[in-house]
Structure 1
Amino acid sequence: MLRLNRAIRAALDPRNPPGILADRPHRPLTGETVLDTATDGMGEVVGYLLRPLGPGEPWAADPDDIRRPERDRLIRARMARLDLDRRTHPPSSALVSAPPRGLGRG
């Protein structure tokens, strides 16, 4: 839940209003989520490649085709990534706490 709150706060940052920089080339930092306008795919910057937010192989993108995604699309992509993470990595039963023995209702 904490990751979700951070993702939403980052997407709603007033210093990055939607649509202002979406039409200009963007030089992203490693780990930033960007839009590749040539493929209409969103990915996370890893070195000189973009790693898809969902399943798939990383791809090389032309730096002139990299844009900041619009706020709504960024939130949807991050939510989809969190949902995928939850489905593919369910919580371990060892991490789920059970009530202590002997303290049941009685």
Structure 2
Amino acid sequence: MGADSPRGPRSLLSDMTEKQRRRARKACTELREATDRAGCPLPSLGVDAASVITGGVLVQLGGALPDVITRLAEVIRAGTAALAAGEPEGTVSRLWPPAVGELVVDTGADRVGEFRSEDDAGRWLLAPPAGGDPWAANPDAVRMAGPGDQVRAEAARATARSQKRVG
């Protein structure tokens, strides 16, 4: 039996259901963040009610506009190709370049930058998050910015803003 709650003893099914609900909420959050980042948000994404028979909890994808679903299909195909090619997690694929303004890390230069465009030679132009001259990066040496990189970029932006106010 599960631990007692203020409403009385908890059943094994209620414990399992709560665990399923936590997993479903976490999965829902991860999918929402991924689809938002990929430019294909799913506004109706949510967690369904638990089954009274099994305690299972489903994530409902809900409805989305056709262009969002088309973008999602593109992202899945690009991700599948990247996985098949053995690209490490966090790698940006040439099949799926970042959106303009998206934070990435040029691992060759060890710099965080915002994606701007692609030049005629196939290199990606990145700009410092706090402003400054863009630089060309080899797309094979670029990865998605993680949470630490995003904090670094926001700190650089805040510093640049405060220096403009003071100077």
Bin the TM-score by the shorter chain: 0.5 to 0.7
* Conserved? CA contact 2:105–2:149, under 8 Å: no
Tell me how far 1:47 sits from its aligned partner. Answer: 1.7
Tell me how far 1:81 sits from its aligned partner. Answer: 1.3
> C-alpha deviations, 1:1-24, integer Å up to 9, x for none?
xxxxxxxxxxxx7425xxx942x2
Match of 1:37 in 2: 107
**Higher Rg of the two aligned structures:** 2
Task: Give me the whole-angstrom Cα distance separating, in 1, the residues matched to 2:89 and 2:101.
Answer: 19
Gaps of 5+ in 1: 1-12, 92-106
Three-state SS of the structure 2 residue aligned to 1:34 is strand
1:1-106 alignment runs, 5 A limit: 14=30, 15-16=33-34, 21-22=89-90, 24-26=91-93, 27-48=97-118, 49-54=125-130, 56-88=132-164, 90=165
Q: What root-mean-square deviation, in Å, do the aligned CA atoms of Structure 1 and Structure 2 show? A: 2.5
Task: Give me the whole-angstrom Cα distance separating, in 1, the residues matched to 2:156 and 2:108.
Answer: 21
C-alpha change, 1:21 and 1:86, in structure 2 (3 Å) is farther
Task: Give me the whole-angstrom Cα distance separating, in 2, the residues matched to 1:58 and 1:32.
Answer: 14
* Conserved? CA contact 1:21–1:68, under 8 Å: no
Partner amino acid, structure 1, of 2:126: L
TM-score between both structures, scaled by the size of structure 1: 0.57
Task: Provide the identity percentage.
Answer: 32
Q: Which structure carries more relative contact order (alpha carbon 8 Å, separation 6+)?
A: 1
Task: Give me the whole-angstrom Cα distance separating, in 2, the residues matched to 1:46 and 1:55.
Answer: 12
Three-state SS of the structure 2 residue aligned to 1:47 is strand
More helix by share: 2
TM-score between both structures, scaled by the size of structure 2: 0.38
Task: Give me the whole-angstrom Cα distance separating, in 2, the residues matched to 1:32 and 1:57.
Answer: 16
* Conserved? CA contact 1:44–1:52, under 8 Å: yes
Gaps of 5+ in 2: 1-28, 35-87, 119-124
Three-state SS of the structure 2 residue aligned to 1:53 is coil
